[in-house]
Structure 1
């Protein structure tokens, strides 16, 4: 939906909006903010607003938000393939597999080089078994996994099949490696970074992430919150 089409009726009848999520915001916070802004602007008591796929607080990039009757399309949108760009740091691991937690172990990287890293990345394409990180919002026995993690409780997390159609290493400046990934719904890029480090006889964690596409929707189409507020006004 283009800003020129913003109106009360269009939001109620159903709008699909592309947002560039700010760093450290949850997808839930973004939904709440957008809902509040629409309600304030058009003096609405209530309106359905939801997102079509969560994005971690430490990631930025494309989050699709649906309003009104368009919320019925959320399951279909969530099933679309995703594209990400980001950075993996080698030589250490973190319990959350990203920057949320402190380094818990260090590993050598002097055996790594660009050719070996690029060659190994191809082992992670196709359908693979992936274990979600313990610091995630997935539920087990009615409890979020990150709740177990923060309480120091061990929990068995079954692996699940995901599909990675593309895993390109775009730049290598060790210990940092830049990448681009195209993958299916349910893929954890944090887990990919962690497993990638293990496969290269080292350790690794995700140090930056941006979602650039969901199906045919791209980050180029996205508004930040300031632009959305300006368009509403």
Structure 2
């Protein structure tokens, strides 16, 4: 499947973007919209993303423009691959670095063999409780709006599937894992659950999406590279 066809950006193409740290997925969409307007003069090009990434995550964000936006729903449904760094012995209300540490736990009993044994229990279909600090709607509001006020939004568990999970780094108190999972899987919540299964606490400290369906991070462009390609295209026309 051809991607990053800038000559077709107004008519419709799929752009693969390496989302920067601290940017929301909507920040990326907004920036691309302004770049398309600046370099092509088109103010009406449709643009949308297939699969949200949290602001503190980096990596592959699939963007559709023009007629390709009709494919957003299908592309969002694809499996995703992540590399996640988890810190043991500490928890936060958001299960990541968005909020401060709220409790500490011993982790001296954790060893590599225990981690690998526990990770095996997370493969397959299961129910996952989403984070309170999430964009899920509860009574017309985002869950995080309640959570930031100290109110538990009481999110119901949702079905997910973890197709594979592998320990790729072990240096206590940190673990690095590779996960292939279904859409709707919260890696922050997985970090929480792994901590509980290891009889300690845990939270997510780094997250990078490396694959979405058939697309790979190796195909992705930075925002700066996108602007350079659009500028070159404009100068050649």
Give the TM-score of the pair, scaled to structure 1.
Answer: 0.97
Structure 1 residue 201 corresponds to structure 2 residue 199: yes
CA distances 1:74-94 after superposition (whole Å, capped 9, x unpaired): 000000000000201000100
- How far does residue 154 in structure 1 lie from its aligned partner after superposition? 2.0
1:6 is aligned to 2:12: no
Distance in structure 2 (CA, Å) of the matches to 1:12 and 1:19: 17
* Count, aligned residues: 230
Alpha carbons 2:132, 2:154 under 8 Å: kept: no
What corresponds to 2:110 in structure 1?
112
Within the candidate set 134, 146, 149, 1:148 is matched to 146
Which runs of 5 or more residues in structure 1 are unaligned?
A: none
Q: What is the CA–CA distance in structure 2 between the aligned matches of 1:201 and 1:228, rounded to whole Å?
A: 45
CA RMSD of superposed structures (Å): 0.9
Residue 2 of structure 1: how far off its partner (Å): 5.2
Q: Where does residue 213 of structure 1 map in the other structure?
A: 211
- The 5 A counterparts of 1:31-110 are 31-110=29-108
4+ residue stretches of structure 1 with deviation over 4 A? none
Give the secondary-structure state (helix, strand or coil) at the position aligned to 1:207: strand
Q: Which residue of 1 aligns with 2:189?
A: 191
Distance 1:2 1:215 in 2: 13
Aligned to 2:235: none
Structure 2: 5+ residue runs without aligned partners?
A: 232-237
